[in-house]
Copies of this chain bind each other. A is one copy, B any other.
Amino acid sequence: MFAIERRNSILTALKEEKHVVVSELAKQFEVSEETIRRDLDKLEKEGYVVKTYGGAVISEGAAIELPYVVRKKANVEAKQKIAELAAELIMDGDTLILDASSTALFIAQKIKAKKDITLLTNSLEVLMELSDVTGWKILSTGGSLKERSCALIGSQAEECLERFHVDKAFISCKGVEAEHGFSDSSDAHAAVKRKMIAAASQVFFAVDSSKFGKLSFASISGFSGIDAVITERCPSDEWNRIFVANDIECIYPRGGENG
């Protein structure tokens, strides 16, 4: 193994583990700790990691995953939990749609180890994230690039979605409300998401709890035809009743595990 490959492996490990330990890396790669320290020095100089006593952590804002894009910090924890739940629902061999949301990006990160996935998305970020997986079939809808975002929208994206059919779609939204269902702030996004719903056998809405009871500008869909809502914690009794009444499963972390 070349030094360059070792450093690359360290970076990959850091992406997943968030922190690495010098002594463990030394054992793993069968080199001296000194060598590992020098690797970390180099990576630190290049801005990818921050060294700490005993190891290193991934550099916030490191250009690894999203070199060009500002990371969105809003509700990261909730979105991570939702993404974990979504990842559990995805099986080897599935065909999927992911929309252009930060939750979708988290889902993409968490399912990279799965096999034989076919995936269709209108998110540039998801595509970039998955550009290094092998053995998948990854499709982009195409379409217009929405200003200051990484989403492809418009008639071309919509037409593309009419031509495919998938097992499961994971979609997020800006608000969900008892009377009007799921809504989004942009009509163009809502239109694309309607096509995604139509193209999938099972539709999962990823909605963190801050969006419950919110009604946004553009309606995406009522409750009919939606299979499940994924959220980061058990919703109120009121919302549970609404979900039951509309025959929607509500998926949230069950107690017992940490996180």
**In the bound complex, do residue B131 and residue A2 qualify as a contact, i.e. CB atoms below 8 Å apart?**
no
**In the bound complex, do residue B148 and residue A127 qualify as a contact, i.e. CB atoms below 8 Å apart?**
no
Q: How far is the CB of A22 from chain B (nearest CB, A)?
A: 11
**In the bound complex, do residue A53 and residue B140 qualify as a contact, i.e. CB atoms below 8 Å apart?**
no
- What's the Cα separation between A17 and B103 when bound, in Å? 35
Contacts of A5 in B (CB 8 A): 19, 52, 57
Copies of this subunit: 2
Q: How far is the CB of A60 from chain B (nearest CB, A)?
A: 11
**In the bound complex, do residue A129 and residue B68 qualify as a contact, i.e. CB atoms below 8 Å apart?**
yes
Instruction: Give the contacting residue for A46; candidates B61, B68, B132; CB below 8 A.
Output: B68
- Chain A residues bordering chain B, tally (CB within 8 A): 52
- What's the Cα separation between A43 and B66 when bound, in Å? 12
Instruction: Give the contacting residue for A2; candidates B52, B138, B147; CB below 8 A.
Output: B52
Contacts of A245 in B (CB 8 A): none
Does A104 lie at the interface of the complex (its beta carbon under 8 Å from any beta carbon of B)?
no
Interchain residue pairs with CB less than 8 A apart (23): A2-B57, A4-B53, A8-B65, A8-B67, A48-B67, A48-B68, A63-B67, A124-B127, A127-B145, A131-B145, A131-B150, A134-B147, A134-B148, A137-B144, A138-B144, A139-B143, A139-B156, A140-B140, A140-B142, A140-B143, A142-B156, A142-B157, A142-B160
